């Protein structure tokens, strides 16, 4: 939990990864671990979103949260925050970052995000404020145009004084959409998600048409 940072006496480097995590998959985890290592981050906090402004979510947010918790358990440096799923109103990244900065003013924040999200950042609420609150690390994601992303990153640096890096991560062409469609069509998701997440999905009958599918 983010809360465990109270009382730290040295400036910590805190990675933050927001997402719908519907469900969390190995590309999320590999990206977080790779960037934690590259930037010498002390921790990475996963923050599953509650009611995302850009997506219509039908799957219970607690299922999504539980799967993130199951995934983070095996890594001492991975934490999960329930800040957004417990909010009544829509959750926006800027509000979450403000909360973290206010609560933990000594942490250096690194917001980890895929290049698809980087390219959409200007549509986020108070997006300029996001750049003031955290350094942004954009993980190059397969299937997302690199040139377009590089151009955007350059523009963000020039126009908004944004501190944004674009980083190559071991290329994993996995998305939650792909996982959901494989479950729906009875195909294997082994090695695409942590085994505990795979078990959780089957145990709760998630992503089966007519049970708790979405989209
Ligand atoms: P969906 O298909 O439902 O959109 P997703 O796989 O994109 O799911 P999200 O929860 O939307 O997962 O993404 C959370 C964060 O993880 C975003 O910043 C996204 O860009 C990043 N991300 C997801 N998959 C990858 C990947 N394969 N490589 C790098 N970053 C990724
Ligand atoms: Mg996505």
Average pLDDT in the 192-203 region? 98
127 vs 213: which has the higher pLDDT: 127
Ligand 2 centre from 45 Cα, in Å? 18
**Summary mean pLDDT of the chain:** 91
Instruction: Write down the pLDDT at residue 8.
Output: 58
27 inside domain: yes
Q: Which residues of 89-116 are buried (b: 16+ CB within 10 A; e: fewer)?
A: eebbbbbbbeebeeebeebebbbbbbbe
Average pLDDT in the 96-120 region? 95
- Encoding tokens for residue 46? 């996963």
The pLDDT tens digits of the residues spanning 133-152 come to 999 999 999 999 999 999 99
End-to-end CA distance of the chain: 30
Ligand 1 centre from 176 Cα, in Å? 7
CATH number at residue 34: 3.40.50.620
Ligand 2 centre from 55 Cα, in Å? 9
The pLDDT tens digits of the residues spanning 36-61 come to 999 999 999 999 998 655 666 567 89
**How many domains does the chain contain in total?**
1
Which residue's alpha carbon is at the smallest distance from atom 9 of ligand 1? 19
Q: How confident is the model at residue 73 (pLDDT cuts 50, 70, 90)?
A: very high
Average pLDDT in the 89-110 region? 93
195 inside domain: no
91 inside domain: yes
Q: Is the ipTM of this complex over 0.95?
A: yes
Positive or negative, the CA dihedral 16, 19, 25, 28 is negative
Helices (H) and strands (E) in the chain, counts: 8, 6
36 inside domain: yes
Which residue's alpha carbon is at the smallest distance from atom 15 of ligand 1? 19
Average pLDDT in the 71-76 region? 96
Which residues form the domain of 57? 10-171
109 inside domain: yes
Half-sphere exposure for 46 (CA within 13 Å, toward CB): 29
Ligand 1 centre from 211 Cα, in Å? 24
Which residue's alpha carbon is at the smallest distance from atom 7 of ligand 1? 175
Instruction: Write down the pLDDT at residue 214.
Output: 46
Average pLDDT in the 86-104 region? 92
The set of protein residues with a Cβ atom below 6 angstroms from ligand 1 is 19-22, 27-28, 31, 113-114, 116-117, 139, 141, 169, 172, 174-177
The pLDDT tens digits of the residues spanning 155-178 come to 999 999 999 999 999 878 999 999
Are 107 and 135 in contact, with CB atoms under 8 Å apart? no
Q: Does the pLDDT at position 111 exceed 50?
A: yes
Ligand 1 centre from 52 Cα, in Å? 14
The pLDDT tens digits of the residues spanning 6-18 come to 455 678 999 999 9
201 inside domain: no
189 inside domain: no
């Amino acid at each position: 939990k983010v809360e465990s940072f109270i009382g730290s006496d040295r400036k910590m480097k805190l990675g933050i990864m927001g997402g719908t995590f519907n469900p969390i998959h190995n590309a999320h985890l590999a990206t977080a671990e790779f960037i934690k290592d590259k930037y010498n981050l002390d921790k990475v906090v996963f923050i599953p979103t509650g009611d995302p402004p850009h997506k219509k979510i039908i799957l219970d947010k607690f299922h999504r949260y539980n799967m993130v918790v199951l995934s983070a358990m095996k890594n001492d440096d991975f934490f999960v925050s329930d800040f957004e799923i417990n909010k009544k109103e829509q959750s926006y990244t800027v509000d979450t970052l403000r909360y973290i900065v206010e609560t933990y003013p000594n942490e250096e924040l690194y917001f980890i995000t895929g290049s698809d999200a980087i390219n959409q950042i200007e549509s986020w609420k108070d997006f300029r404020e996001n750049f003031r609150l955290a350094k942004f690390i954009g993980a190059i994601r397969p299937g997302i145009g690199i040139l377009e992303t590089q151009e955007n990153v350059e523009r963000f640096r020039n126009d908004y004084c944004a501190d944004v890096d674009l980083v190559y991560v071991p290329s994993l062409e996995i998305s939650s959409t792909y996982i959901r469609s494989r479950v729906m069509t009875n195909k294997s998701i082994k090695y695409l998600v942590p085994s505990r997440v795979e078990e959780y999905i089957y145990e709760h009958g998630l992503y089966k048409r007519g049970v708790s599918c979405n989209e």
